[in-house]
Amino acid sequence: MHDMSHATEHHAHTPPQGFIRNYVFSLDHKVIGKQYYGLGLVAVITGMVLSWIMRIHLVWPNFAIPGLGLLSKAGAPGGIVTPEYYLQLMTMHGTLMVFFVLTNVPFAGFGNYFLPIQIGAEDMAFPRFNMMSFWTTFVAFLVLIAAFFVGDGPPLAGWTSYAPLSAVGGAAGPGEATGQTLWAISIAIFCIGQLLGSLNFISTTLDLRTKGMTLWRMPLSTWSWFITSCIGLTAFAVLLPACILLILDRTAGTSFFIPSGLVINDKLQPHSGGSTLLWQHLFWFFGHPEVYIAIVPAMGIVSHILINSMRRPMLSHRVIIYSLLAIGFLSYMVYGHHMFVSGMNPFSSLAFSFPTLLITIPSTVLVLIWIGSLYGSKLRITTASLFALGFISMFVSGGVSGFFLAQPSLDIYLHATYFVVGHFHMVMGVAAIFGMFAGTYFWFPKMFGRMMNETLGRVHFWLTFVGTYCIFMPFHYLGLAANVRRYSAFVDDYLQPLLGVHKFITIAALFTGAVQLIFLYNLIHSRFRGALAPANPWEATSLEWTMPSPPPFDNFGGRHPVVYHDPYQYGIEGATNDYVMQDSPEEIKSVRDER
Amino acid sequence: MATTVPEPPVHDLPSDNNRFPGNGKIGHGGGRILRPAEGHLRAVDDYSPSPSGTGIWVGLTAITMSFAAFTSAMIVRKGGASDWRHFTIPSILYLNTVVLLVSSVTLEVARRRIAAFMNGNTPRPAVASKWLYATLFLGLCFLGGQYAGWLQLKSQGLFLATSPSSSFFYVFTAVHGLHIVGGLAGLIYVIRKLHRLVLRRSTLDAASRYWHFMDAVWVYLLFMLWAKF
């Protein structure tokens, strides 16, 4: 008896008191999830504005961008971007998008909010670590943004920060002094935040599942967050040492990455013997898994949403999970395909090419399962399901060019061109963003207790869908026409005829960016004025829909859900509805019974 | 006139209350109630199995990856250039290694004593906490010894940026030292919880696993620094 009374005391959490504990330093995974989402939103707007500036400069190099001169007098005198400043903007665009958007929102944002709920837990395993995880990420963001306002601005070495450019300091160019140091510190802090987050996700998934929630009964979204956290745990644990070594090269005079005899501006650098390839190895050992950190959660979210819209499970729940696991595992063996032109041994190119082609198999299996399951289904068209379909479209379109790039003989020609820019923007950038949009439209009612506007949502989808294809498909064409990337203006003769394509892309980018205002309006308006959301607006089966919208502080209101079924019992004949929720004790008598 | 308070039961969680799959199966050891000496059960509400049993392994995986990255960086750096100058490791480091290994022994003794106390076989945890203090002391000695090792190197004119070998030496010892500081913080946390009789078995196990692991990491790092391959 004694034990029982204590059990209730312990498990019925009382909501925290006060603004700070509720909204700022909150231990609640739901608040932390929203904080990640909000930070991602700020980062994506910043990153998008940077891309606008770059696109405008590319095609109208003499156009003075209002206000930019105030931000950087040297980088953009009178608002006209210098070639160096173009690279600085590009670095910040890449860093913001990859780290603070593609990692933060689909994984840390949605994952934090929904992983504990989908497995029937009250919170993450280590709520304090969880809070620290967000706030370290936030500090990392501030440190990175600070680079805009110091000395000669942000770094110009790109989001990959290749050494020795990133390691030698101010002599290497504008932004390579304080800016690059801030970049390295910011990413190191970011790694710590992500490691804490991954630790939480893994422990929570393994330890806090409610009664009956076996691993196979976890929704695909939870599986994808779990697999992503395993990738993140090992990948960020490698980037952190790399950043530490880079910081030491920059500040303490060591020579980990700086080779002997390096002369910059007629000055011999006081370093010797460092290995520039070492940075690339360490960076891409993280960098390639990072691509999957961005895309795997989107795969899970999209599967979760599509099943709900199709009203039937995927052709195979387990094969999807096996494929995601295979992708996670292989993601470590392919990283060298980023380094085909780095000067490493050509035999290692072959060794990295093979697993790169291999990883297309689980990816193709996923696509085939999605399409095969969609075939013949009576799809309920919602904005969320449209974006889920859009995700598949982007993933396939961007993925196909991956087959070409996986082969060193072709990559050598295409590597430094816009072909690669088009490839990665579609397959991991925009695809993951579509996953985020799908997740937002699907889960917004649960997160905020109000419905989003469907009409605006559909307008947003179609304009964005067409717009992104207009932006990123021509990139492939430009790449095939040997249009080099990272150039701020195209003055060479052979590039002049391509300017028209660039103008088209810029206009498409401005248009597609502006379309996102519809989404922002929908998001903010629905948050306050949207129709009140019922507990289960999409007639879905997983645990997040068993609680009121928005969920109470302790998720299940002191109740401990018991799970009786696989996550996706849709299209059940003879059930009260056409679906049976995971925690419903209702017996399922159908052909598809408990596959 | 009932004056005798029935002794609180010391047992694993009842199975119907067991919300955490895997509890008791994969060695959490969290579901045990700590019985205080006076028979007055207080502050044991937080008896639910702690995920720290899993969490510590997950954390150690990340730490392993980090040190693997550091040491493979060293191997690459060593093989790639001719400026590598091997130096003799300061002799005090071998003494430090012995100190650290002994600290693992003292911690293990403490862990077993506390386990016996939790099982109700020993009356007081005081003896056990002495062993914890001994571990704490040895850990601090190790850190001091490492610092002395740095001073030895400095007196030889080997600084962080002097040569790649000294760079890696300082980086390895500093990063490992930071991890040891974390381990010491964990030990202090365990001691505090033990004194307030709210220590959970899983916390104790996690802290000691971490500590032993840092021993192993140090032996590995020392080998990497010592080896001339």
- Closest Cα in chain B, distance from residue A95 (Å): 22
CA dist., res. A387 & res. A398, Å (int): 16
> Which residue from B8, B54, B175 is facing A207, i.e. has the nearest CB?
B54
CB pairs under 8 A between A and B: 139
Residue B82 lies in a domain: no
- For B131-174, the pLDDT digits (tens) are 999 999 999 999 999 999 999 999 999 999 999 999 999 999 99
Q: Chain A interface, mutation test: which of B54, B84, B86, most A Cβ atoms within 10 Å?
A: B54
Residue B129 lies in a domain: yes
Tokens 């030990």 belong to which residue?
B187
Q: Which residues in A lie closer than 8 A to residue B17 (C-beta atoms)?
A: 3-4, 7
Average pLDDT over residues B11-27: 34
A214 in contact with chain B, both atoms CB, cutoff 8 A = yes
Q: What is the DSSP letter of A312?
A: S
pLDDT value, residue A589: 61
Helices (H), A375-414: 383-405, 408-414
CA of B210 to nearest chain A CA: how many angstroms apart? 15
When scoring B5, B10, B18, B58 by the number of chain A Cβ atoms within 10 A, the one with the most, hence best to mutate, is: B58
Yes or no, beta carbons of B62 and A199 under 8 Å apart: yes
Examine residue B55 and state whether it is found in any structural domain, yes or no. Answer: no
Beta bridge partners of A263: A268
- Closest Cα partner for A423 from A412, A435, A434, A415? A415
Closest among B155, B141, B149 to B222, alpha carbons compared: B149
Which of B19, B48, B58 lies nearest to residue A199, judging by beta carbons? Answer: B58
CB within 8 Å: A273 and B49: no
Give the pLDDT of residue B7.
43
| pLDDT value of residue B9 | 41
pLDDT at position A494 is 87
pTM for this prediction: 0.91
Q: Report yes or no on B185 lying in a domain.
A: yes
B141 CA: distance to closest CA in chain A (Å):
26
Give pLDDT tens digits for B98-136: 999 999 999 999 998 888 888 777 767 677 889 999 999
CA distances from A252 to A103, A167, B164 (A): 31, 11, 12
Helices then strands, counting H and E runs in chain B, come out as: 5, 0
Amino acid at A193: G
- CB distance from A318 to chain B under 8 Å? no
B177 in a domain, yes or no? yes
For B18, nearest residue in chain A (alpha carbons): A211
pLDDT tens digits along A134-162: 999 999 999 999 999 998 899 999 999 99
| Mutation site, B167, B198, B210, B217, interface A, largest A CB count within 10 A | B167
| CB atoms B54 and A274 under 8 Å | no
Comparing CA positions, the residue from A545, A578, A567, A375 lying closest to residue A590 is: A578
Q: What is the CATH number of the domain that holds B169?
A: 1.20.120.80
Overall domain count for chain B: 1
Counting as low any pLDDT under 50, the low residues of chain A are 1-12, 591, 593-595
Token duo for residue A142: 């501030």
Q: Residue B197 belongs to what domain range?
A: 89-229
Q: Do B73 and A245 touch (CB under 8 A)?
A: yes
Chain B residues within an 8 Å CB radius of A206: 22, 51, 54
The residue whose two tokens read 């961008």 is: A65
Helix (H, G, I), strand (E, B) or coil at B46: coil
| Alpha carbons A277 and A280: distance in angstroms, whole number | 5
B73/A126 CB distance under 8 A: no
Owner of token pair 């879905």: A540
Min distance B164 CA to chain A CA atoms (Å): 7
Contact A75, A152 (CB under 8 A): yes
pLDDT score at B125 = 67
**Residue A585, pLDDT score:** 84
